[in-house]
Chains A and B, each alone.
Chain A
Amino acid sequence: MSVFIGDWHALLILLIAGVIPNQIWRMLGLMVGGEIDEGSELLVWVRAVATAILAGVIAQILVQPPGALASVPDWLRYGAVAAGFAVFLVTRRSTLAGVVCGELVMLAGKWWIG
């Protein structure tokens, strides 16, 4: 069992640096979200900000890639997203087609570079 859990110190780190930083925002959202009307203008702004922050997280992974993704050159990462987006539009907004195309372009490019 101790192999499965590891040391308790690591779990404490998980609590401080992982669980609390996420749950604090969710619970704050719960407090505020309980008061807002579904059709209110404030909610339109909040939704726009949520979309834009998510877009920022997407951009961060592409611009400052983590782990193994860093081995893929910049132009190939951006090119794969652009190709995926073109297919997404052509297929009248199919998420699956866009994702598959983006992945294939990245894998093909990586194979081509060697």
Chain B
Amino acid sequence: MTALRRPSLDVARFRQRYARHDSNIARLPLALPALDSPTWHSSFRAFGWGMRSVGSTILTLVLFATYLGIGALAHDTHFSLGWALASTLFVWAGPAQIILISTLGSGATVIQAAIAVTVSAIRLFPMVVSVMPMMRTPQTKRRELVLVAHLTAVTLWVECFRFLPHVPRDRRIAFIHGLGSGLVSVCLVATTVGYALAANLSPLLGAAILMLTPLAFLFSTARNCREPADFVALALGLGLFPLTSMLNSGVDILVSGVSAGTIAYGVHWWREQQ
């Protein structure tokens, strides 16, 4: 950990962040072993702890409900169950799957659907970029991180900031492999159940399930906000989208996201100068 090149000022700030994180552990139904516990000596057990952590986050429940909805949506748009499961396993991004199925279902061409999904998926790039340094040790090879990159989506990204400070650095990859495969398994089950239930899903229940995604994404992100810059990024990102969507550029989310994020960074920079 100390082998990583890092300006000393940032070390202090990160320790402070982690320390503040500790107050959250009381709210976890599952407390992880202490950082120096012998449990962490085996990466197999770290994988197990990751998998068990699936049960200690409300987001698992939300993911389950979201994927019920995706299964039902796939059924109603006449995709096969195998197709729906393959999309959950290989795309592994809820909003992208909703956009893919609904655009294809509404008669758009493959190219139009591909463009819509590509734009919504841009958010995965900064997420993966910010997760990687939390996993890396000086010995880590890039190919060891490929599966972590695949598993990275909103839920895992949010949970990384919550769990990883309590996991020793050299066991983080195994931990995330466990957490990620646990979440994928839950969602494969949910996709199947939703597909089977589709015919019985009332429009009211369908609307309630689709509403879960924005509510859960909003509150879990807001919960992870620590610095004023985080709040600015979230609030401006929400507020700017309705404005940029009037441009109808096809990359509205990218425009609002980069502008809001850059302004938030400006706030951070300005505070550092003070």
Binding site for B on A (CB under 8 A): 3-6, 10-11, 13-14, 16-34, 36-41, 43-69, 71-72, 77, 80-81, 84-85, 88, 93, 95-96, 98-99, 102-103, 106-107, 110
Contacts and interface: CB of A to CB of B under 8 A. Distances in A.
Interface stretch (B6-14, B36-44, B180-188): B6-14
A63 B244 CA distance: 12
Interface residues of B, number: 110
Nearest to B134: A38
Contacts of B19: none
A26 to B, nearest CB: 5
Contacts of B80: 3-6, 10
A21 B96 contact: yes
A22 B96 contact: yes
A45 B265 contact: yes
B56 interface: no
Q: Mostly helix, strand, loop or mixed at chain B's interface?
A: helix
Contacts, number: 321
Interface in B81-122: 81-83, 86-87, 90-93, 95-100, 102, 104, 110-111, 113-114, 117-118, 120-122
Interface in B11-49: 11, 13-14
B236 interface: yes
11 contacts: A29-B149, A29-B152, A39-B14, A43-B133, A50-B261, A53-B122, A55-B218, A56-B253, A58-B238, A67-B102, A77-B211
Given A39-B6, A51-B230, A93 B122 contact: no
